[in-house]
Structure 1
Amino acid sequence: MQDPDTTIETREEVMFFDTDIGGVVHNIAYLRMIETARTRLAAKLGMRLRDMAQTQLYPVVVRTEIDYRKPATLGDELIISGRLESVERVRFWVAFEIRRAGEETVLITCRQSLALVQMPAGKPVRLPEDWAEKYASLFLKKR
């Protein structure tokens, strides 16, 4: 079972602005929903928005993998589940699934790799030292 401190669940209702003329959710809307879930997951991992603004240290997406399996449509209530998937020395992976509320069928799967970047220099930095211990079961040692 996944640690509740490394998981998040959010809900979104599909609005007109999320869809195309046929009432089907377009790809950028899914990414916005994932962005919301990822931001809330980051807060649970100790990276709150106000803290980031003060320290200028941000988790930056460096890779996104997304599979569109089935479409969501106008008015659907979607559940976005996210989790910390793995941790390395300088990056970490998060994973998301989007389902229609009350259904088990997965509509969207997504994985993202993130790195901590110190702004304004844009310099990547190592993940916090305590992450190796805190998330030991998810820590991937360099091969």
Structure 2
Amino acid sequence: MEFRVYYEDTDAGGVVYHARYLGFFERGRCEFLRRKGLSVRALADQGAVFPVVRMEIDFKAPAVLDDLLRVDTEVVEVGKTSFTLEQRVVRAEDGKTLVGGRVTLVCVRPGMKPRRLPEELLEALQSVTKIE
């Protein structure tokens, strides 16, 4: 998934504000599922939502206004009720990784009670390792 850095993404120093990367990762995860034929909304309508329960982020280099960025997403672990992804924000122009992260999501039903991953999600997660 590629996107441009806009003024609203930057801080007073002209670089992407650190908290914006959380949103970039979220978009990357949603597009990852969409490219596998799944919809976050459809999964939620079926009673499966996916809160983040753990996230690690390494900031390596800054993105700046007007950079074209890409979020790469790779499956690293799949459990019965959770999955872990590695994600990278990469500058499209030169392929440099600017920010790397690892995120674990757990599947819950309404009321935040854990549930098994839906079968179609489980199949999608096990059939792919990387989506750009």
- Length, aligned pairs only: 128
Equivalent position to 2:54, from 52, 55, 63: 63
Alignment of 1:124 onto 2:114: yes
For residue 49 of structure 1, report the CA deviation from its aligned partner.
Answer: 3.0
For residue 134 of structure 1, report the CA deviation from its aligned partner.
Answer: 7.0
Mark the CA change 1:77 to 1:133 in structure 2 (over 3 Å): closer, same or farther.
Answer: closer
Q: Match for residue 29 of structure 1?
A: 20
State the one-letter code of the partner of 1:116.
C
Task: List runs of 5+ in structure 1 lacking aligned partners.
Answer: 1-9, 139-143
Equivalent position to 1:111, from 91, 102, 105: 102
Backbone CA RMSD of aligned residues: 2.3
Task: List runs of 5+ in structure 2 lacking aligned partners.
Answer: none
| Aligned pairs for 1:69-108 within 5 A | 69-108=60-99
Q: Following the alignment from structure 1 to structure 2, what is the Cα–Cα distance between the partners of residues 13 and 133?
A: 28
Q: Following the alignment from structure 1 to structure 2, what is the Cα–Cα distance between the partners of residues 55 and 97?
A: 29
CA offsets 1:75-118 (integer angstroms, 9 cap, x no match): 11111111222111221001111111121321100110011110
Mark the CA change 1:32 to 1:68 in structure 2 (over 3 Å): closer, same or farther.
Answer: same
SS in 2 for 1:36: helix
Percent identity between the two aligned chains: 31
